[in-house]
Amino acid sequence: MKKTMAYALLAIFIMGIVSVGAAAFQWRNGGIESSLESGDYETYLQAFNDSDRPFMRQKLTEEQFQERVVFLQEREQAQAQIAAAMDEGYDAWKAAIDKLGHAPPFADQITAENFGKYVEMHQASERVHELSEELGIQRGRMGGGFPREGCLN
């Protein structure tokens, strides 16, 4: 029980740190993320031109923008597959991770024996996400964000 609480507190602490950075990013560049989510290049151009762009050296071409949109969509699909596999147990989760061909760096540390703890950590992460939404704290993809959906960010 104490370890679960420690994991939850650690997740909340990390989320707090990440949220500050993500909130700053969102303040400057919120339209860029939403344009990627919607796949709207014109909205991206407007957001790019309106931002102070400290993190970007040059504007994405429409082709580069569309490549990023596809990448984000594929990543979301992969995250959903991994999250669903987590519900089925370690073997299903491991198979989903292996199928992707690019396992997260921690994947080799998760075993059948400690998978339950990993699921607890994931659930704590999801709870942090829920709480951040309730508080109106946005987590951006591009500026980092606390891992969720199978921790494949």
Q: Rounded to whole angstroms, how far apart are CA atoms 86 and 151? A: 11
Higher-pLDDT residue of 142 and 2 is 2
Residue 97 Cα distances to 85, 112, 120, angstroms? 9, 14, 18
pLDDT band at 24 (very low <50, low <70, confident <90, very high): very low
Contact residues for 75 (Cβ-Cβ < 8 A; gap 6+): 152
Contact residues for 150 (Cβ-Cβ < 8 A; gap 6+): 78, 79, 81, 82, 83, 85, 86, 93, 96, 122
Note the pLDDT tens digit of each residue in 134-148: 888 866 544 444 444
pTM for this model (two decimals): 0.56
Looking at residue 100, its pLDDT comes to 80
Note the pLDDT tens digit of each residue in 70-113: 999 988 888 888 889 999 999 999 998 888 877 888 888 999 99
